[in-house]
Chain A
Amino acid sequence: MTQSPDRDLMVRLAGPRSTRRGALMALAGTGLGLALPAGWRQAEAQPAGSTIRMTESTLGEADPHKPTDVPSSILMFNLYDFLIRPAPGGGVSPSLATSWEVSGDGLTYTFALRDDVRFHDGKPFTSEDVVFSLRRMQTMRRGFAGLFEVIRSAEALGPHRVRFVLARNYAPFLASFARLAIVNSVLVRANQAAGTFGEFGDYGQAFLSAKDGGSGPYVLTRHEAQQETVMTKFAGHFMGHDPRAAETVRLRFGLQPPTVRTMMTRRELELTRVSLPPEILVALARTPGISLGQDRAGSMFQFKLNMRRAPTDDVEVRRAISLAFDYAGQAALLDVAGVAAGIPSRGPIPSGVMGYDEAAPTGRRNLDAAKAALARSKYGANVPPLDLIFVREFAQVERYALLFQRSMADIGLRVNVLPIPWAQYQQTITTAESTPNVCCIYVGLTTPDVDSLLWTSYHSTSPATYFSAQWMNDPEVDRGLEAGRTILNTEQRAAHYRALGKRIADLVPAVFCYDQINVIARQNYVSAPTLTDMRTSVPLLGGNYQFRTMGVGAPS
């Protein structure tokens, strides 16, 4: 029972021929399929002048009284208004408040408010909205609520006048208002759901997480957890917009560097906020029509040294580490296609912030001095190895960690480098005992006031966070930080923080590496003053992304 030779021959002849034909047809079909959409190539590319599409790391929290991160801060600054706004170049400027008076004892602040402001739904803004917003924040105790604990009472003195009485002197008080977004009290009350806040139900949390209740320059029109947030221009904003301001702003989440590069090249993105690998930035810088910009937000990169764990509990060991670090090597890593991703730090206060000391020296490597300091330490020649952790998700930081390891080898210090995920990082630093000797981290200002960085980092009562991973407990620094909150004169206060910064630097709680500048890429048809001229940077998390001031399209 075998196949006949003729049939076999037929099969052999017919089979491959038909398959070859099929393969050719499949190829032709594929070619046709790919050629057809060629006409749609620019379908995704928007005409300039209408939209800003920007990469964002993750969904921001739309409720302005809950979050503390950058994506949420960007939403906050664009959807809401504040009594006082962070100003370009540092400091604060009037916004919803036109002026304010401070009583002689510094405990009573009275604000005069604008009378020409309307919320997005048309309701006029009044002092009741200010009082409601403050009480909402104080009651919910989320986000930056801690900044307002000092307020003993808040009272509306009229539709456009409000008074705050403080429990004690608190110099950063005005700057704190850059974090009190004013919500539409009537709208929020009308949309409150059942909750744990008595007559206020859930205080409108469910509503404000999905919709906006603000008066800011943009209106929230879409807020999808896994894809994008869309904002459209609010034409009735009291401060107005740049004449070429985008009608629509789209914040796209979770785009990976290769995708960002492809989309930027195809002009499907206008701006990249999320930190990109240097290789991608270099490639984008070479692409016609794309430029690099600098986002300086008052943050710094540090190797924090645990002051309560051996051997970094000895100031001489910490000094040796600081002297042995290869600052020049790190500076080389910060050059991205000729654009600096950081400038050398001069102590614990970033440049452009009150108390920054331009006369203080930047870090410089001196191996002989480092070895001498090590010899003076109580550990002498028997210094135990150091444990160093960095957040695995921050790819660039791994290079710094390895540079640190190599630098310390030159003075005979062994360093165990441990990459760990962010969730574990935060857990690891909850106690002094569990915090490793060295923690690589970025820290920055959360309000325009220097206190927001120094207090959370160095006061002995500040909560255990990555800010405070050096576990400082120095009575002199504590007193200095407490005094800084009571000095109302700006110049005296600046001098005080300069001196305090020197005291902190002398204790070497960290290797102060550089003031961070996030290098971003933008299409040339987008003008973004805060990202192109660092003198106009807003030194605050997310402060440089106020789309009202940006323009799209050819200059008019």
Chain B
Amino acid sequence: MIRRVRLANVAAFLAARVGAGLLVVFGVSVLIFVLARAMPGDPARLALGPAATAAQVERLRADMGLDEPLLYQYVTFVAGALRLDFGTSLFTNRPVIADLAYGFPASLELALAAGMVMTIFGILLGAVSARFQNRWPDNVSRILSLIAVAMPNFVWALILMLLFAYWAELLPVSGRLSERLQAPPFVTGLVTVDAVLAGQWATLGDALRHLALPAVSLSLPGLAQVARLTRTNMVDVYARPYTEFARAYGFSEREISVKWALRPALIPTFTLLGMQIVALLGNAFLVETVFAWPGMARYGVEAILRKDLNAIVAVVMIVSVAFVVINIAIDLCVSFIDPRIRLQSAR
């Protein structure tokens, strides 16, 4: 009986989140569709170049359907998007979905790697800092966090490149794999995962080396935020009576840290992480640019600069869907850590 009630709560919680997510995606689709068309610059002229005649430009505009009413264009776009057909890119002259099938996994791999670095080291740094509050590990951690959060990730990208690629020549600075290696057979599009699936360990090592600098640069500001948030929340929890109570019962400091201090402190941290990782998908363009990472974020920025309407809309839609999906996943995680959230939402 209790199990059935729990399942019903989860279902209601999930339904509410999915409904809200669909509304967000619809709103974003309308907004970006209109905004992309309101941006200055004639996409047909940009695509055809300066030598094109007015007749050529008009013909391409007609081919792209830009002479149709806006509502008709939107309905056509939605019908295509539901079939994952976002039209052809004016920049690459290929179907946008084919470009995204290449760029999205690259960005996702980078964001996931950065997210992992952010999660593991951010929480670890925050927990150590809180555990040794106002002692040297805490002081060092706080200073490092402050430095990391104060500088944007592209500055970190340049600093790390200077240290580990220009001076030390230890790590590669561009692309996902060395020229001498063939990419593993496409399964997920994540080179590291595909290399593992294919048992290509040399390729895996090479992919990890290529991932190191972009992922660390991308993660540092977020890592610092996670560390600071975790520390603040854990310090708060350490001051609670139940922590003192646990100590009095003779639990080890490690147990107290992990079971009583860290777990409740993780709820806001997880929420922040979710937002950060999704944001990385779209915000990674500077790091992708510095390290010539062939990701979707860089593709999106180039699409904007060329007013490649189909590509702009597709990239924004993919990011918004990813945002919604990851947020729902984070909400689910948080609701399992703290059932009160799930119950309140279900009511």
Residue of A nearest to B166 (CB): A262
The 8 A CB mask of B232-271 against A (1 = contact, 0 = none) is 0000000000001101100001000000000000000000
Interface centre among B92, B93, B244 (most CB of A within 10 A): B93
Bound CA–CA A142/B305 (angstroms): 21
Q: Are B298 and A456 in contact (CB under 8 A)?
A: no
Q: Which of B17-25, B49-57, B108-116, B322-330 contacts A (4 or more CB under 8 A)?
A: B49-57
A359 at the interface (CB under 8 A from B): no
What distance in Å separates the Cβ of A45 from its nearest Cβ neighbour in chain B?
10
B147 at the interface (CB under 8 A from A): no
Q: Are B248 and A430 in contact (CB under 8 A)?
A: no
Q: Are A465 and B50 in contact (CB under 8 A)?
A: yes
What distance in Å separates the Cβ of B190 from its nearest Cβ neighbour in chain A?
16
Query: What residues of chain B lie closer than 8 Å to A258, measured between beta carbons?
Result: 158, 161, 290
Q: Are A225 and B161 in contact (CB under 8 A)?
A: no
Bound CA–CA A219/B101 (angstroms): 25
Query: What residues of chain B lie closer than 8 Å to A142, measured between beta carbons?
Result: 48, 52, 56
Q: Are B171 and A15 in contact (CB under 8 A)?
A: no
Residue of B nearest to A46 (CB): B179
Q: Are A256 and B289 in contact (CB under 8 A)?
A: yes
Query: What residues of chain B lie closer than 8 Å to A165, measured between beta carbons?
Result: none
B6 at the interface (CB under 8 A from A): no
Of B45, B50, B52, B165, the contact of A262 (CB 8 Å cutoff) = B165
Of B41, B305, B306, the contact of A427 (CB 8 Å cutoff) = B41
Bound CA–CA A262/B158 (angstroms): 11
Q: Are A463 and B166 in contact (CB under 8 A)?
A: no
The 8 A CB mask of A48-67 against B (1 = contact, 0 = none) is 00010000001101010011
B164 at the interface (CB under 8 A from A): yes
Bound CA–CA A463/B173 (angstroms): 43
Q: Are B175 and A19 in contact (CB under 8 A)?
A: no
Of A15, A210, A426, A446, the contact of B94 (CB 8 Å cutoff) = A210
Of A15, A66, A428, A463, the contact of B54 (CB 8 Å cutoff) = A463
A466 at the interface (CB under 8 A from B): yes
Residue of B nearest to A468 (CB): B50
Q: Are B40 and A427 in contact (CB under 8 A)?
A: yes
Asked whether A426 and B170 contact (CB < 8 A) given A58-B302, A253-B292, A463-B52, the answer is no
Asked whether A68 and B51 contact (CB < 8 A) given A224-B294, A259-B291, A393-B305, the answer is yes
Query: What residues of chain B lie closer than 8 Å to A226, measured between beta carbons?
Result: 99, 102-103, 106, 294-295, 298-299
Asked whether A254 and B292 contact (CB < 8 A) given A37-B171, A423-B41, the answer is yes
What distance in Å separates the Cβ of B38 from its nearest Cβ neighbour in chain A?
12
Interface centre among B136, B180, B248, B292 (most CB of A within 10 A): B292
Bound CA–CA A543/B253 (angstroms): 71
Asked whether A16 and B179 contact (CB < 8 A) given A205-B93, A225-B94, A465-B50, the answer is no
A152 at the interface (CB under 8 A from B): no
Q: Are B174 and A255 in contact (CB under 8 A)?
A: yes
B132 at the interface (CB under 8 A from A): yes
Q: Are B174 and A15 in contact (CB under 8 A)?
A: no
Q: Are A2 and B171 in contact (CB under 8 A)?
A: no
Q: Are A41 and B59 in contact (CB under 8 A)?
A: no
Q: Are A15 and B170 in contact (CB under 8 A)?
A: no
Per the CB 8 Å criterion, the residue count for chain B at the interface is 67
Residues of A470-528 contacting chain B, CB below 8 A: none
A38 at the interface (CB under 8 A from B): yes
Residue of B nearest to A226 (CB): B294
Query: What residues of chain B lie closer than 8 Å to A286, measured between beta carbons?
Result: none
B184 at the interface (CB under 8 A from A): no
Q: Are A44 and B289 in contact (CB under 8 A)?
A: no
Of B40, B174, B179, the contact of A423 (CB 8 Å cutoff) = B40
Asked whether A19 and B137 contact (CB < 8 A) given A423-B39, A427-B42, the answer is yes
Query: What residues of chain A lie closer than 8 Å to B52, measured between beta carbons?
Result: 68, 142-143, 146, 463
Query: What residues of chain A lie closer than 8 Å to B189, measured between beta carbons?
Result: none
Asked whether A259 and B93 contact (CB < 8 A) given A143-B49, A225-B99, the answer is no
Bound CA–CA A34/B132 (angstroms): 29
What distance in Å separates the Cβ of B299 from its nearest Cβ neighbour in chain A?
6
What distance in Å separates the Cβ of A393 from its nearest Cβ neighbour in chain B?
7
Bound CA–CA A46/B215 (angstroms): 26
Query: What residues of chain A lie closer than 8 Å to B55, measured between beta carbons?
Result: 141
Interface centre among B40, B50, B307 (most CB of A within 10 A): B50
Q: Are A34 and B302 in contact (CB under 8 A)?
A: no
Bound CA–CA A58/B303 (angstroms): 12
Residue of A nearest to B99 (CB): A225
Query: What residues of chain B lie closer than 8 Å to A422, measured between beta carbons?
Result: 41, 46, 305
Bound CA–CA A466/B49 (angstroms): 10
B168 at the interface (CB under 8 A from A): yes
Bound CA–CA A370/B49 (angstroms): 36
Q: Are A209 and B161 in contact (CB under 8 A)?
A: no
Of B59, B93, B290, the contact of A66 (CB 8 Å cutoff) = B93
Residue of A nearest to B128 (CB): A19
Known: A16-B132, A258-B290, A422-B41. 19 other contacts (CB 8 A): A1-B245, A1-B248, A3-B244, A15-B253, A19-B137, A37-B170, A37-B171, A43-B178, A63-B93, A68-B50, A225-B103, A225-B299, A226-B299, A250-B179, A254-B298, A255-B292, A259-B161, A265-B166, A423-B41
Residues of B with Cβ closer than 8 Å to A? 39-42, 45-46, 48-57, 59, 63, 89, 91-94, 99, 102-103, 106, 128, 131-132, 135-137, 158, 161, 164-166, 168-175, 178-180, 209, 244-245, 247-248, 253, 289-292, 294-295, 298-299, 302, 305-307
The 10 closest A-B pairs by CB, nearest first: A423-B41, A68-B49, A226-B294, A465-B50, A424-B40, A225-B92, A1-B248, A227-B294, A209-B93, A427-B40
Q: List 24 A-B contacts (CB under 8 A).
A: A15-B253, A16-B132, A44-B178, A51-B179, A58-B91, A68-B51, A143-B51, A146-B53, A210-B94, A224-B102, A225-B99, A226-B106, A226-B295, A263-B173, A268-B174, A393-B305, A423-B39, A424-B40, A427-B40, A427-B42, A427-B45, A446-B51, A466-B50, A467-B50
